[in-house]
Amino acid sequence: METPWDTLHRAYFNGYAMWTYLTSPFHVAMPGFEVEDIPPWIEGHERWRGLRVRFPDYIASHCKEQDFYFWR
């Protein structure tokens, strides 16, 4: 991608990214989200549960399919 970002591009990205990061744990319970278990992530002696989430079209996100890992 060669298009330089201006202030408006950065503001848009920062807004939707932060909103998505802060609200993702609640999204998975909303209609339109597809959630499936994926293999856990093992880090040292820790085991992190994996979830793959597919976002519906009405949610602005940088990636429609995202993997999340939760400890405990």
Token pair listed for 69: 């890992």
Tally of domains in the chain: 1
Token pair listed for 2: 């060669």
- CA distance linking residue 13 with residue 69, whole number of Å: 23
The per-residue pLDDT string of the chain (72 residues; one tens digit each, 9 = 90 and over) reads 688 899 999 999 899 888 888 888 888 889 999 999 999 999 999 999 999 999 999 887 778 999 999 987
> Does the residue 28 lie in any domain?
yes
Q: Which residue range forms the structural domain that includes residue 49?
A: 7-71
> Does the residue 65 lie in any domain?
yes
- pTM of the predicted structure, to 2 decimals: 0.71
Q: Tell me how crowded residue 16 is: count the other CB atoms within 10 A of its CB.
A: 14
Give the count of alpha carbons within 13 A of 5, CB side only. 9
- CA distance linking residue 8 with residue 34, whole number of Å: 31
